[in-house]
Amino acid sequence: MVDDSRRELVDGFGRVHRDLRISVTDRCNFRCTYCMPEEGMVWQPREELLTFEEIERVARVLVERHGFESIRLTGGEPTVRAHLPVLVAKLAALGVDLALTTNGATLAAVADDLAAAGLGRINISLDSLRRDRFEALTRRDELDRVLAGIDAAVAAGLDPVKLNVVMIRGVNDDEAVDFATFGRERGVTVRFIEFMPLDAGQGWSGGQVVSQAEIVGAIDAVYPLEPVPRGSQPAERFRYRDGGGPGGGAEVGVIPSVTEPFCGSCDRIRLTADGQVRNCLFAVDELDLRAVLRSGGSDEDLSRVLEQAVRAKWAGHAIGQVHFIRPHRSMSQIGG
Ligand code: SAM
Ligand code: SF4
């Protein structure tokens, strides 16, 4: 008999899905201007958040029944969820490539526990190396804590440690070379992310997007670069022709989500902290997995909802086009 409980999640465009993003909380200890308003965020009630057991169950179904290979934890700020290493250990036991995206502010305290629990890779978000600018961007004076967090992640053996830098015109677009220097010296890969229309304040405009060409051009003028073949990852990668800096940082990347989207090879789905499945960051519809989990649904019931979500996936987002619809939830609520 054929075991049809094991099947790949393939959408209408032939894309096979193997990557899960899990938001573990919508809360955050920062208030980045491009993500959250200073005040007035309404948090999801705690009882609506999936428990670790519920998250593990969804992940297990995706790994065991649908061949998922990688999981990234995000938020909100994932490290503000209590006992995060407990969840990391549960997911690491599934044998997946497990990663975390964090603002880094609490990493000095938790990096060792996360590594011991089985976390592999880490991305730390940092948008300015200048204290006053960092404070204006995050509305927190915590640059030193983030820098200590980066060192703690490297020391804990998390590998690779990558920095995510959102470039915004007129805000931090003069820091590309400073970040390249920082990455070369500290042995971390810097990845520049184009600003996307997912800010809670709805202040995004196309003119604020700093393109890949501009970023790479600025760095290449100081540290000559050559492209690395792209593969299935969203980042366009470039290596330093001189081999990299004293700390070993040998590469820089750009995620051109707006100017050159990677939708054609997208293999991701997302689980929000309140248990909704989204087939795209920019999806306007969500399907309610929490309701299935909490009404005694079987693994097959979960699979059906996941398949339905993937089948409904669009070819890609349409930022900048007239028919683009902004999702009703912002980045921190979806899970970036
Ligand atoms: N709090 C964690 C952090 O900041 O790394 C994880 C969640 S955060 C929403 C995930 C990533 O999304 C961060 O790298 C952040 O810089 C990025 N991000 C947030 N709002 C964005 C926007 N409007 N455009 C592009 N990237 C954004
Ligand atoms: Fe918090 Fe991350 Fe959003 Fe900044 S980008 S407010 S750190 S969730």
What are the domain boundaries of the chain?
9-334
Max intra-chain CA distance, the chain: 65
What secondary structure letter does DSSP report for 36?
S
Low-confidence ranges of the chain (pLDDT < 70): 1-5, 197-202, 231-232, 249, 317-332, 334-336
pLDDT score recorded for residue 260: 72
- Closest-CA residue to 8 (of 306, 280, 276, 275): 306
- From residue 315, how far is each of 192, 196, 232, 267, 271 by CA, in Å? 24, 18, 16, 12, 20
Centre of ligand 1 to C-alpha 35, Å, is 7
How do 16-17 and 19-23 pair as beta strands? unpaired
- From residue 208, how far is each of 37, 93, 162 by CA, in Å? 18, 42, 24
Q: How far is 75 from 28, CA to CA, in rounded Å?
A: 8
- Closest-CA residue to 120 (of 161, 81, 79, 63): 161
| pLDDT one-digit tens code per residue, 61-114 | 999 999 999 999 999 999 999 999 999 999 999 999 999 999 999 999 999 999
Name the closest-CA residue to atom 3, ligand 2.
Answer: 35
Query: If you compute the radius of gyration of the chain from its CA atoms, what whole number of angstroms results?
Result: 19
pLDDT score recorded for residue 296: 97
**Token duo for residue 185:** 């010296």
Q: How far is 243 from 46, CA to CA, in rounded Å?
A: 48
pLDDT score recorded for residue 331: 64
**How many H helices and E strands in the chain?**
10, 14
Ligand 2 atom with minimal separation from the 105 CA: 7
Point out the ligand nearest to the CA of residue 79. Answer: 1
The CATH architecture assigned to 9-334 reads Alpha-Beta Barrel (3.20)
* Candidate from 23, 80, 125 with most ligand 1 atoms within 8 A of CB, to mutate: 125
Asked if residue 332 has its Cβ within 6 Å of ligand 2, the reply is: yes
Centre of ligand 1 to C-alpha 3, Å, is 40
Centre of ligand 1 to C-alpha 319, Å, is 17
* DSSP codes of every residue in 287-306: EEHHHHHHTT--HHHHHHHH
pLDDT score recorded for residue 233: 72
Please measure the distance between the N-terminal and C-terminal CA atoms of the chain and give it in whole angstroms.
41
pLDDT score recorded for residue 61: 98
